[in-house]
Structure formats: structure tokens, C-alpha cells
Chains A and B, each alone.
Chain A
Amino acid sequence: GEDVEQSLFLSVREGDSSVINCTYTDSSSTYLYWYKQEPGAGLQLLTYIFSNMDMKQDQRLTVLLNKKDKHLSLRIADTQTGDSAIYFCAESIRRDKIIFGKGTRLHILP
């Protein structure tokens, strides 16, 4: 079936890199997404990667895709207190359907 799995919590010291991992099941996914949700707010699109790419970098964000293992990761360099949020991994199943993971809550330690 269609499923996206990610760990629920991650704690990282300020200034270190954060790596949030995600696995998905549908090998026909065209796009994979990372969204950020701050408390009480909607989801903000951070970045996305097309399924024929291995890596995408955007300022402090690096997305790695291992299509063989169906594994997606988001690396946040130089993690700041403003990065504290829930991060959702999502895969595009078809044009009108996206499957979301349960989200990883990123906690920043001083």
C-alpha cells in the first residue's frame, strides 16, 4: 500500500546539522516533498525533488534521494532555533494525490 514513514522526534544542538530521514513505498512517485509546520500554522513548502534526481541543494537545505532504497533525507546545515518545527515528508502518488508522513518534530538544544 501507499505509506510514508519517518521518525517522530529528532534533537539537535544549535549550530550542528540536522538530518531527517523518510522512507516511502510507491516506486512510481514523481515528486517528493519536504514541508515545515510551525506551531498552530499551516504547512510551508520547503523544497521538492523530482524522482530522477539524486540530490538537490537550496541554501542550508540538502535533499538526498535514494530511489533504489526508496529513501529520502533532508539535511539542514547550521541548525538555528528558528528551525524548530515539525517536518513532513510527502510523495506524489498521482496528479491529485499526495501521501504525507506523520512528521518529525525537530527540537533544538542550546
Chain B
Amino acid sequence: DGGITQSPKYLFRKEGQNVTLSCEQNLNHDAMYWYRQDPGQGLRLIYYSQIVNDFQKGDIAEGYSVSREKKESFPLTVTSAQKNPTAFYLCASSILGDPDIDTQYFGPGTRLTVL
């Protein structure tokens, strides 16, 4: 059963703490992405990675960090430097081998609430 998994579904954090959100895919996709979604807003790109051990900042990278040590895993750390971290976080992946198709497939999301 192939797909993208994110865990946990709900996450609560105290102010000042770092927290790591998990994203795993078994689709053998090359690229992986992290988005943030706020109510009534579209998706904003935090970080993305095209290959292992390489990643680029998206539009709102400040206060976040990522790693890509394995092709199937792209964890996101929300640091204490992120001023307003409460949001719904979505992970996605895509194939980059075919230059004509960049379709991104999404995981179920993690809702992070800072108390």
C-alpha cells in the first residue's frame, strides 16, 4: 500500500520547545516538500528537497529546519524561533525523473498547536 504518511496527526507543544514532524513516503519519489496551511489561506512552501542530502528554502523557511538523510524521509523541525507555529502542516512528494509531470502528492497532514 504505497503512499505518504505523516505522524503524529495531532501534536501539542509548549512555547519555547522544538518539535519534529515526521514525513515518510514509499513511492520512490525524488522530491519532497513541506507546506504550511493556515485557516482561509492557501499553502505556503517551507522547504523542499530534490535529492538526498540537499534541500532548499521555500517562501517561509524562517524558524524551521529539515534534513534529507534518506530518500523516503523528510522530517521537519519547528524551532522555538518560529513566532507563530500553530498551523496545519502538509508534506508532499513528486517524481522529478519525467520533466513533463511535476504532480505533487500529499500526506494526511499534522496539526500542530502551541500551548
Chain A contact residues, CB within 8 Å of chain B:
4, 8, 30-31, 33, 35, 40-45, 48, 50, 88, 92, 94-98, 100-103
**Which residues on the B side are within 8 Å of A88 (C-beta)?**
42-43
CB within 8 Å for A44 and B106 given contacts A8-B40, A96-B48, A100-B42: yes
Distance between Cα atoms of A75 and B85 in the complex (Å): 36
Q: Is there an interface contact between B42 and A96, defined as CB atoms closer than 8 Å?
A: no
Residues of B within 8 A of A35 (CB): 106
Does the CB pair A31–B101 fall under 8 Å?
yes
Q: Is B28 an interface residue (CB 8 A)?
A: no
* Complex Cα–Cα for A97 and B31 (A): 11
Q: CB < 8 Å: which of A31, A42, A103 contacts B90?
A: A42
A-B contacts at CB below 8 angstroms, number: 54
Note all chain A residues with C-beta closer than 8 A to B103: 31, 33, 45, 48
Query: Which residues from B are CB-within-8-Å of A92?
Result: 102
Q: A88-B43, A102-B42, A103-B42 are in contact. Are A96 and B31 (CB under 8 A)?
A: yes
A–B complex contacts, Cβ < 8 Å, 19 sampled: A8-B40, A30-B100, A33-B103, A40-B109, A41-B109, A42-B4, A42-B6, A42-B107, A43-B90, A43-B106, A45-B103, A45-B105, A96-B31, A96-B50, A96-B102, A98-B102, A100-B43, A102-B42, A103-B42
Q: A88-B42, A102-B41 are in contact. List 9 more A-B contacts (CB 8 A).
A: A4-B42, A30-B100, A31-B102, A35-B106, A40-B109, A42-B108, A45-B105, A96-B50, A96-B102
